Structure 1
Amino acid sequence: MPVTILVKSFNRPYYLDRCLRSIQECLRGEYEVVVLDDGTPPAYLDEIRRRYPAVRIELSEAYEAKVAQIEAHAAGGPAFSLRNIPTKLWRKGVEQASAVVCMLEDDIWVTRPFDLDAATAYMRERQIVLTKMYWGGDPSSFEGKLAEAGPDLREYRPALPKGPEWFTRLVLLNQFKAHSILHRLRLVPEGIYYQLPFYGLYSVASALFDREFWLHLWPATQQRADEVHQLARALNWTKRRPSRFAKTEQEITQTSFITSATNGFPGVEFDVFAFNHYLNQAWLRGEFDAMQAYPRDFTPEYLGPVLDRAADPRCTFANWLRWIEHFKQVYASMGVVVE
């Protein structure tokens, strides 16, 4: 069976185009590509189908409602509010996928050649449940933990906090305010900084997953994005089943730190939905190259004229640059290389 590549998509066809093009150019082996879309307006998906006829597109249950809100927001109407995640769509995609599934998102692109067949065969042989294709550009997170090597892969042992699983899970989920209390006593790091080591067990995307492992991570009942639950479920899995973890020898994917699907920041007057609307329209008209600056991200100077022509006070070029600074700061504070 070919390796299934699932691409989670939401209202950024200009990045989805880049993602799909990079897959064609870099990934080797037998594979199929399925886009799991949660709200990209039909005109853009039709153009994606025209450019990539072999790619299958599946839509979420909330697709039509989200498209209606996105289009109303872009036209100056009420703000977008349907922020539930399409867990049912994602699970169905994984349930119907190959035994090892490649999970990407629309703003992730492949940057170098990679043999999917060899990697997935090694994962099945070694009971590897997760192979990271991206880790934020900081190799120090793997120092001292590297183990066996495979075809362009390196296994690693996640370095987790000491203690029994019940206690670690209690602190991770902040049950009975355990993390809050221990943090006030200066016994554990704050919030995300306590969670960071557990990301050795999990990746939201840019990874190859054992299918059953991914399905364990994402219960059908979860409707909001709160990855602490995925970290806790990954810990639960590894304590009960044989599991190994790996990364590619080099990062083979990259992601964007200059755009987002939904993020906003207090004090920065920047409407990311209006921003994406103008970029989507420019992409549809063929006014910019989806591979500009590849394998790096688009340059602000290249996309800036789109905002200048739009002349929309909701998303000015100057405020976009301020937004980018805030967005990058969030990830840089966690050790991610954002340049």
Structure 2
Amino acid sequence: MTDILIKSFNRPFYLDRCLFSIFKFVEGDFKISVLDDGTPKQYLDKIRGKYPEIDIILSKNYAQKTSAITENLKNKTEINGFQIPVDLWIEAAKNASDYFIITEDDVWFTEKININDLVSEMKKSDINLLKLGWLGNFKDDQHLDISEINNKIDRIIPHKLFLKGQKTMEAFFLNKYKFYSFLYKLKIVNNETPQKYWALNSILMGLYSKKYWLKIWKNMAGKVDEKQQLINASVYFKKNKNNLNFIARLKKESMKTTFQSSATNSYHNYGYNFDVNLFNYLINEAWFTDKFDSFQNFPNDFSLDYFESFFNDKIDILEFKKWVSHFKEQYKNLGVDVG
């Protein structure tokens, strides 16, 4: 039995799509756990009714987060999107199967996979991370050596990574003692160098060995620290550098995500007159009353005009489009296929 862990917060219309896609496209023996940080109870109850097979585990701040959503709708008090339930995720991972998928509510499957076969191959080939999707980003392939493990999986080996011990990698990523700046002057690194290390990690679409995921998330101190993740991944990868199958990916991507929605404004506040929290409320309520179809335009993301049909003059459509365009552009610049 392989665990599938889904991080979730206040977008049941996407969570519904995510769960639907798992039951449609994932074959084999698996157990789904939703790790929820504040989706209002009535929405979670509806999810439970539609998918009685799943478990929903609430964060320790669940009540506080649901109250924050209510307060936001009443008084526009900002929801603290930086208060993240890292402890919940780590505890769930510790209790998960030796190999597990970890994803988020706004990610969905688009191609069939057999989870039993994939885990069997990971054990056989000593794969620590199998990427099920990579956001259509083939730009980074120039930094990878890619070769076949079997007819469904390729090994991916990042080349020319600077790899040392823990303290040196901390100095490297955090530029302690101006170490990164020194390497930059020597032309050993450049502005694109940090991006290469993301070959060792997958935020949204990874089938992981538990040991490796827990190594990556060591010393998080209750927050999502991406530099610390890359430090941890680099150190562990160096220790396993003789394993040519350490990182792999499917030959064909099997997952997608959205680039036109956010759980809060914390990371995507671009200065436009667009209220992400109000947007989520309007779509959540439409979904709750069966007016919003979670599978509209599936397997692609929802059409913008479909979202707009539920705004009821409460959201400025032009400002919404500006926000989406900005959201997409920042990922497009990284080589991501934003659709």
Relative to the length of structure 1, the TM-score reads 0.92
CA distance in 1, matches of 2:66, 2:322: 28
CA distance in 1, matches of 2:9, 2:151: 33
Amino acid at match of 1:257: F
Deviates further, 7-16 or 85-94: 85-94
Amino acid at match of 2:104: E
Number of matched pairs? 332
- The answer on whether the counterparts of 1:132 and 1:206 sit within 8 Å (CA) in structure 2 is yes
SS at match of 1:197: helix
Match for residue 334 of structure 2?
Answer: 334
Match for residue 296 of structure 1?
Answer: 300
1:189, CA displacement in angstroms?
3.3
CA distance in 2, matches of 1:286, 1:204: 31
SS at match of 2:149: strand
Are the structure 2 counterparts of residues 60 and 254 from structure 1 closer, same or farther at C-alpha, using a change threshold of 3 Å?
A: same
CA distance in 2, matches of 1:83, 1:53: 31
Q: Which structure 2 residues correspond to residues 245-284 of structure 1 after superposition, within 5 A?
A: 245-262=247-264, 263-284=267-288
Q: Which structure 2 residues correspond to residues 161-310 of structure 1 after superposition, within 5 A?
A: 161-162=161-162, 164-165=164-165, 167-179=168-180, 188-190=189-191, 193-219=192-218, 221-241=220-240, 243=243, 244-262=246-264, 263-307=267-311, 309=312
- The answer on whether the counterparts of 2:8 and 2:35 sit within 8 Å (CA) in structure 1 is yes
Match for residue 324 of structure 1?
Answer: 324
CA distance in 2, matches of 1:80, 1:181: 40
| 1:287-326 Cα deviation digits (max 9, x unpaired) | 111011011000001110111x1x33xx422111000111
CA distance in 2, matches of 1:285, 1:298: 18
CA distance in 1, matches of 2:150, 2:334: 29
Are the structure 2 counterparts of residues 140 and 81 from structure 1 closer, same or farther at C-alpha, using a change threshold of 3 Å?
A: closer
Q: Which structure 2 residues correspond to residues 13-162 of structure 1 after superposition, within 5 A?
A: 13-81=12-80, 83-142=82-141, 145-150=145-150, 152-162=152-162
1:139, CA displacement in angstroms?
2.9
Q: Which consecutive unaligned segments of at least 5 residues does structure 2 have?
A: none
- The answer on whether the counterparts of 1:37 and 1:63 sit within 8 Å (CA) in structure 2 is yes
CA distance in 1, matches of 2:197, 2:181: 18
1:168, CA displacement in angstroms?
4.8
SS at match of 2:180: helix
Amino acid at match of 2:271: G
| 1:37-76 Cα deviation digits (max 9, x unpaired) | 1111111100000000000000111111011001211223
CA distance in 1, matches of 2:178, 2:274: 35
Relative to the length of structure 2, the TM-score reads 0.92
- The answer on whether the counterparts of 1:66 and 1:82 sit within 8 Å (CA) in structure 2 is no
CA distance in 2, matches of 1:227, 1:163: 17
Are the structure 2 counterparts of residues 196 and 40 from structure 1 closer, same or farther at C-alpha, using a change threshold of 3 Å?
A: same
CA distance in 1, matches of 2:25, 2:57: 24
Are the structure 2 counterparts of residues 181 and 67 from structure 1 closer, same or farther at C-alpha, using a change threshold of 3 Å?
A: farther
1:104, CA displacement in angstroms?
1.2
SS at match of 1:103: strand
- The answer on whether the counterparts of 1:39 and 1:63 sit within 8 Å (CA) in structure 2 is yes
- The answer on whether the counterparts of 2:283 and 2:292 sit within 8 Å (CA) in structure 1 is no
**Identity of matched residues, %:** 32
Amino acid at match of 1:278: L
- The answer on whether the counterparts of 2:99 and 2:207 sit within 8 Å (CA) in structure 1 is yes
CA distance in 2, matches of 1:37, 1:290: 19
| 1:120-163 Cα deviation digits (max 9, x unpaired) | 11111222110111112133433551134236211111234346
- The answer on whether the counterparts of 2:138 and 2:335 sit within 8 Å (CA) in structure 1 is no
